[in-house]
């Protein structure tokens, strides 16, 4: 099942602006991951944030996690045309030692206008 729900489904901004995407989920998690998928390519792992972390940075990416609200956001600063892609969040559930695997949202399609 696709537990994560990305919001918005599509986002179009001008190059240089910041892009923010949100993800909500339903169950307790060990970690939450963000992925990018360029057209015609496979998923690329961007960043992983653990349930005991609140914020994480990687280059122009900033991810926040609010476990009380069961939500996460991905911020891409100073966007570039090459950032045009679909972005997915995936949750690694806290299943008490079980193995439920990652569940993915449907993605946010980001378009950067030159």
Partner 1 sequence: NAGVMQNPRHLVRRRGQEARLRCSPMKGHSHVYWYRQLPEEGLKFMVYLQKENIIDESGMPKERFSAEFPKEGPSILRIQQVVRGDSAAYFCASSPTGYFAEAFFGQGTRLTVV
Q: Please, what is the minimum distance in Å from the beta carbon of residue 67 to partner 1?
A: 17
Distance CA 38, CA 109 (A): 10
Q: Please, what is the minimum distance in Å from the beta carbon of residue 27 to partner 1?
A: 14
**Interface contacts to partner 1, rule CB under 8 A:** 31, 33, 35, 37, 39-43, 45-46, 48, 90, 99-104
Q: Please, what is the minimum distance in Å from the beta carbon of residue 24 to partner 1?
A: 18
Q: Please, what is the minimum distance in Å from the beta carbon of residue 14 to partner 1?
A: 26
Distance CA 64, CA 15 (A): 23
- CB closer to partner 1 out of 37 and 73: 37
- CB closer to partner 1 out of 46 and 74: 46
- CB closer to partner 1 out of 98 and 114: 98
Q: What is the CA radius of gyration of the chain?
A: 14
- CB closer to partner 1 out of 49 and 112: 49
């Amino acid at each position: 099942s696709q537990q994560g729900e990305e919001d918005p489904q599509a986002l179009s901004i001008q190059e240089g602006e910041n892009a923010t995407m949100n993800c909500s989920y339903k169950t307790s998690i060990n970690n939450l991951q963000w992925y990018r998928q360029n057209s015609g390519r496979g998923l690329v792992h961007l960043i992983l944030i653990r349930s005991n972390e609140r914020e994480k940075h990687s280059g122009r990416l900033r991810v926040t996690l609010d476990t009380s609200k069961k939500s996460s956001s991905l911020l891409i600063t100073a966007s570039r045309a090459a950032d045009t892609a679909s972005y997915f969040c995936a949750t690694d559930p806290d299943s008490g030692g079980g193995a439920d695997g990652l569940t993915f949202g449907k993605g946010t399609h980001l378009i950067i206008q030159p």
